[in-house]
Amino acid sequence: MKKVFITGLGFISSIGNSQSQVLNSLQKLRHGFEPFPGSFGDCEPAHLYGAIKDFDTRSVDPEDWTYPERYKFARMQLRTMSPHVLYASAAVQDAILDANLDATAFSNGRTGLYTASAGSPYMQHNQLSLMDKKGVMRCSPYGVVASTVGTLTFNLGASLKILGASCGMASACASSAHALGFAYDAIALGRQDRMLVVGAEDGNRESIVPFASMRALSISDDPEKASCPFDTARSGFVGTGGACALVLESEELVKQRQSNAYAQILGWGQASDGYSPAMSHPEGAGLVRSMQSALDSCGVASSEIDYVNAHATSTYVGDLSELEALKTVFGVGQLGPQISSTKALTGHALSMAGALEAGICSLSIAERMTPGSAHIKELDPAADGLNICRSTTQNEPKLALSNSSGFGGSNVSLIFKSCRA
């Protein structure tokens, strides 16, 4: 098996649109939450969302969208985009630049693209509304391409002229973690030399507010309390969108290019709950098997993990399920790995969450710090015996594990290793 490294990162997120901004937010435990804008309509009981700064994608016409001048897109590109494709295209430009590459490095048979998104309910809604009002022949011929679940793969594959493997993953909130795991496999097994992994979400009314009917969204209008994983007062998650792009390369390419890698992907695991279409297993059975599979894949003992980036979204049932799984794998009553949920700051990015948190883990390892779990006033007694860290520390994680869980009991665990270890 070949070694796999992360050599480039691109963030468009509620806590920053660059590595330095994201790092600063993590260090200062600064969240990215704002009230829903008026154009979102009556969003009760969803009061807050993780806002993407410097981008305005509220117009139904992509050519009217605004974004930072450093990103360049042709009019024809914009016509096939949804909001999350715009965010992803920006994050990809940053990740490629960060990896000291240019776009031509991605147009060969040994470089692939794996993506994750839920499509664009926003664009679908607009297209269907126009079709009902004026007839289908008055709709944009690019409407289907811009709105369907695969739009992220379609757009990036074409703009980057991808010739290697490409596909999109759909396992709800585990989607981009699956994309990373399978991208790791593609390189480790020698099928590809370089992979681009991208997770993205619109993060607007149409993609966030429907979760309110499940009682999954936070009912708090206080941004300091709304997203509080592991706290007794948690009432649901704060939704967000944006994009995170990661460049993965084989050890041979890293040495050939003398690249500075953020971290090594050491291994991964996945497992299913087989329990409910929507709810987590109460004892986190699938997540236990996922974490154990990840540990086994790289011959690492649970006692060697320094940091766990938990999936914990701030829902009552979901957090309890993960706490039980963490106790099973890491034990209680001893100083185990530091555990935090960075969703307390970013919000829950749905299918993008795994990529975003992989990016955060990689950045944390490179910067020798462990992110804290913000907004905990009263720790849930179910977390007793676990090492929940409430503030960011300068403790360097040599080995970090990141969890992602999605509808249907899809669970993914990824393990990252410091390049200095």
Indicate yes or no: pTM above 0.75: yes
Q: Which domains does the chain have, with CATH numbers?
A: 4-257 (3.40.47.10), 269-417 (3.40.47.10)
The yes-or-no answer on residue 139 being catalytic is: no
pLDDT at 30 over 60: yes
Residue with tokens 């990373």, as numbered in its chain = 180
Select, from the ranges 6-20, 41-55, 116-130, the one with the highest average predicted confidence (pLDDT). Answer: 6-20
Residues 6+ apart with CB under 8 A from 134: none
DSSP for 321-343, written as a single string: HHHHHHHHHH-SSS---EEE-TH
57 neighbors 86 (Cβ within 8 angstroms): yes
pLDDT, average across residues 137-142: 81
CA 276 to chain centre: 23
Category of 66 on φ-ψ map: left (φ > 0), alpha (ψ -120 to 50) or beta: beta
Q: Please state, rounded to an integer, the average pLDDT across all residues of the chain.
A: 95
CB hemisphere CA count around 142 (13 angstroms): 15
Of 311, 361, 375, 389, which is the active-site residue? 311
Of 31, 178, 348, 375, which is the active-site residue? 348
Q: Taking Cα atoms as reference points, which of 355, 360, 330 lies closest to residue 342? A: 360
Amino acid 118: pLDDT: 94
Cα–Cα distance for residue pair 155/196, rounded to 1 Å: 14
Q: How is residue 320 written in tokens?
A: 């309890």
Amino acid 42: pLDDT: 55
DSSP for 191-219, written as a single string: S-SEEEEEEEE--SHHHHGGGGGGT-B--
Of 31, 47, 84, 173, which is the active-site residue? 173
Q: Helix 353-366 vs helix 19-28: angle between axes, to the nearest 10 degrees?
A: 80
What letter would DSSP give residue 60?
S
Q: How confident is the model at residue 187 (pLDDT cuts 50, 70, 90)?
A: very high
Q: Mind listing the pLDDT tens digit for each residue in 65-97?
A: 999 999 999 998 999 999 999 999 999 999 999
Amino acid 38: pLDDT: 62
Amino acid 44: pLDDT: 62
Q: Taking Cα atoms as reference points, which of 110, 117, 243 lies closest to residue 168? A: 117
The yes-or-no answer on residue 348 being catalytic is: yes
The yes-or-no answer on residue 375 being catalytic is: no
Q: Mind listing the pLDDT tens digit for each residue in 283-319?
A: 999 999 999 999 999 999 999 999 999 999 999 999 9
